[in-house]
Chains A and B, each alone.
Chain A
Amino acid sequence: MRLILHVWRQKSPAHAGQMVRYEHKQVSTHMSFLEMLDVLNEELIAKGEEPVAFDHDCREGICGSCGFMINGVAHGPQPGTTVCQLHMRHFKDGDELYLEPWRASAFPAVKDLVVDRSAFDRIIASGGFISVAAGSPQDANCIPVPKENADLAMDAAACIGCGACVAACPNAAAALFTGAKIAHLGLLPQGQPERYDRALNMAAQVRTEGFGSCTNIGECEAVCPKEIKLEVIARMNRDFIKASWTQRGDAFRNESA
């Protein structure tokens, strides 16, 4: 199979980037999308050119390292699938594909298809964890969790932090990512003590990082490789609004100021 690739090449944040055209003649339909790029890179190296930089690790769709836009769609055309799990049999001979990095001001460019997603790390660091030992007197694992909540929490916990939701959003909002974390911990007994502080602190960090506001468009849900539902954003909003009305903690005052 033969493909025409237009790949965003950018040496560093200081350099201007541009689309570069490559003709790829050796694409096997059994390859994953990243393998197809591996082969392109080996050819580029053999010709003495710089290979295309992209993040990747597990190649099993669960680490969240990989991700870029294929013809304007985060992680490409296959629903619920990361680019490492996307297979070339979904494309046909002669297809022309445009590969671009996630574009959002909160995700600064690093090189080619690689962007810096550490803003996500700082959102987690602002409250996306539990810090109250759920031990005595009653163990958290002795508190019966309704099956429905356990399932919903597990669905929300499936987030791999790849950033596709931000890249797909016209506002470059991080609502699906942040909502998944808040929903996941808010549904479990371990997450209760800090539930409302968490919502306030994480929302504040989202704004500090320069992500846009959520206007419930739903592009994020459509591209999420883990198929996380918009419902998590509703859960986040519920916790955030409740916290804003009932709490007068430091976080709230900082917010208002």
Chain B
Amino acid sequence: MIGTYEVVETDLLILGGGGAGLLAAIHAHDNAPDLDITVVVKALFGKGGCTRLVQGGYNAALDAADSVERHFEDTIKAGSFINDRELAWLLVSRAPAVVDELEKRHGCYFDRHPDGRIHQKAFAGQSFDRTVHKGDLTGIEIMNRLTEQVFKRAPRILEEHRALDLLTDSNGSVCGAVLLDIRTGRFVAVNARATLLATGGGPNMYRIAAAAADKACDGIAIGYRAGAELMDMEMVQFHPTGLIAADSRMTGTVLEEGLRGAGGHLFNGRGERFMERYDAVRLERSTRDVVARSSYLEIRAGRGSPNNGVFIDVSHLGAEFVIRNFPGMVKRCSDMGFDLARKPVEVSPTAHFIMGGLCMDTETRSRLDGLFVAGEDAGGVHGANRLGGNGVAESTVFGCVAGDTIPSLISRLRKVSDAQIEQIAMEALAPLTRNGGESVFEIKAEMQNLMWDKVGLVRNGPDLQAAMGELESLTERLERASIRSFRKYNLEWQEYLNLKNFLLVSRLVALSALAREDSRGSHYRSDFPGANDERFLKNVYIGPGQKVELRPVRERHS
């Protein structure tokens, strides 16, 4: 039934090929050149994932007038003080060295001042202009250069392979993963001495979302099913300025933060600059959580634009300035028929990033032996809200940390059981053997609407309870869904496997949101509209069996 499958033995299995996965591969190889490394990418190698989509840039304290301490303060303030202080400190303190490394060792070249210093631009929520960038297409530069460096080191690369589940031994230690080759429909079992989860999050379970099309919260779902502990799952960031493109699925694609940083204005449908009512001091340069929620409240109050959004207007900055500084954004808008340089453009909040994820320590170890985690799959770094420009900083810094620490922490190869491999494969194949079930596309659309309406920017207890029930019934419906039984490049099958992970992660988001009875950062409860530090200056953890626990925030010791 499952067919023959290949078994690959490797030292380090890296699931994911974005900034975190590639830097982990580069560093692990350079630290231990004999290490056998396998990089698994769900999309095409070097092309897939979200690091490439980074427009804005990379936060690092480089200027003499700036400091790592200021970057740290901005980061935990934006995170409403529930960031893991050790992880946040690691982020800001290593970021300058990683920017330096990207240029000097990997050949990136960021925008410069006329005197040769790296140019750093303004991003929202920051006390200093510290965002390193290459125009507004920073991610392409970082991904292309890292891809070249990985090719040079020639690890085993499995592209268009998706991880289904992790393999564990009788002690619960992780010893590899079962993959599905999307092109052939065949299974591959990888037996690894260490496994790094770096798939990236991607909250595409919301109706309006920004992440790349291959993203399905795979890493978080896979890690949780294997028994890893998660934290802060209620913290989902909505970017305030997702482009609205009528009934096109392009809706949700992000217009970058630098537009607000450079002085862009937001208007509601009545032409009012509504941010004056929500954050009179920072206005449009307030943090993402505040701006996104303010826009959402305007839209819900009936003061939105014709297509249920608000307007971003940068025309007063001058068309020439906008075209020169934001060429990618101007092009993106013009593809859709909008003139960003000269006219207001309709935008909506769009689901963008998951701050929560697998718990990790400062050496990227998860709570499971043999399993490491880096990038958006991990939680704790950003607390309740991520600063723009701290995302690619996180994936690259922690990718480097993983690649530096794993070679010294790697254990012996543990044997995997054939029965476990076959069980994972059989589960994936189940919908291909059924008949008469409903379409996965129907289930997906219902999930996306449900998450947007009840587990979105503004939440409340009864809605979250209802959502938990509805997500459970969607999961049961998915378990009865049937798919045409061919294996090669079966897009419907991939959608089924995505949905399985989306529905699990959606339930964990709702569960965590119910437990947090206060409003903080990206999480807003209309039934508990203020922050309650006495009870909730804590992190919400979810362990195996959906056991929820609140624990104090980890302080900084280093």
Contact = CB atoms under 8 A, between A and B. Distances in A.
Interface in B96-136: 100, 103-107, 109, 112, 114, 116, 118, 134-135
Contacts of B48: 57, 63, 65
B249 interface: yes
B52 to A, nearest CB: 5
Interface in A93-141: 110-112, 114, 117, 121, 124-125, 128-131, 133-135, 139-141
Contact of B212 (A46, A57, A81, A131): A57
A57 B214 contact: yes
A50 interface: yes
A175 B213 CA distance: 30
Nearest to B489: A53
Counting chain B CB atoms within 10 Å of each CB, which of A46, A57, A110, A124 scores highest? A57
Nearest to B134: A154
Contacts of B118: 141
Contacts of A153: 109
Contacts of B152: 125, 129, 131
Given A45-B484, A63-B212, A129-B148, A144 B116 contact: yes
A131 B145 CA distance: 11
Nearest to A12: B488
B409 interface: no
Given A50-B484, A57-B43, A185 B147 contact: no
A129 B22 CA distance: 14
A160 B144 CA distance: 8
Contacts of A135: 104-105
Interface string B140-151: 110011011101
A55 interface: yes
- Secondary structure of the B contact surface, majority rule: loop
Interface in B494-531: none
Contacts of B331: 61, 80
A144 to B, nearest CB: 5
A110 B159 CA distance: 13
Interface stretch (A24-32, A215-223, A236-244, A246-254): A24-32
A195 interface: no
A58 B31 CA distance: 32
Contact of B107 (A64, A130, A160): A130
- Say which size band chain B's interface belongs to: 35 or more
- Secondary structure of the A contact surface, majority rule: loop
A4 interface: no
A30 B247 CA distance: 6
Given A51-B492, A157-B141, A35 B112 contact: no
Nearest to B143: A63
A257 interface: no
B137 interface: yes
A191 B105 CA distance: 11
Interface stretch (B258-266, B332-340, B392-400, B472-480): B332-340
Interface residues of A, number: 68
A125 B183 contact: no
Contact of B140 (A56, A65, A160): A160
Given A57-B214, A60-B53, A129-B151, A121 B46 contact: yes
B140 A62 contact: yes
Contacts of A178: none
B46 to A, nearest CB: 7
A232 to B, nearest CB: 15
Contacts of B100: 141
Contacts of B286: none
B245 A55 contact: no
B335 A87 contact: yes
A97 B100 CA distance: 49
Given A129-B152, A131-B152, A190-B103, A58 B441 contact: no
A29 to B, nearest CB: 9
Given A62-B137, A134-B104, A139-B104, A114 B489 contact: yes
Contacts of B248: 28, 30-32, 35, 87
Contacts of B46: 121, 161
B486 A50 contact: yes
Contact of A130 (B106, B116, B492): B106
B104 A141 contact: yes
A145 interface: yes
A179 to B, nearest CB: 15
Contact of A121 (B107, B144, B151, B253): B151
A85 B328 CA distance: 12
Contacts of A85: 332, 335
B45 interface: yes
B44 interface: yes
Nearest to B108: A190
B32 interface: no
Contacts of A188: 107, 109
Interface string B169-195: 000000000000001000000000000
Given A129-B148, A157-B144, A188-B107, A59 B250 contact: yes
B342 interface: no
Nearest to B486: A50
Contacts of B247: 28, 30-31
Nearest to A39: B249
A89 B112 CA distance: 39
Given A124-B151, A190-B104, 12 more contacts: A28-B247, A45-B441, A57-B213, A61-B335, A87-B335, A110-B183, A111-B489, A121-B151, A124-B147, A129-B145, A141-B100, A158-B140
26 contacts: A30-B247, A38-B249, A45-B484, A55-B44, A57-B48, A59-B212, A63-B43, A63-B53, A81-B335, A114-B489, A124-B147, A128-B151, A133-B104, A134-B103, A135-B104, A141-B116, A143-B116, A145-B109, A153-B109, A154-B109, A157-B141, A158-B137, A185-B107, A188-B107, A188-B109, A190-B103
Interface of A: 11-12, 28, 30-32, 35, 38, 41-42, 45-46, 48, 50-51, 53, 55-65, 80-81, 85-87, 89, 110-112, 114, 117, 121, 124-125, 128-131, 133-135, 139-145, 147, 150, 153-154, 157-161, 185, 188, 190-191
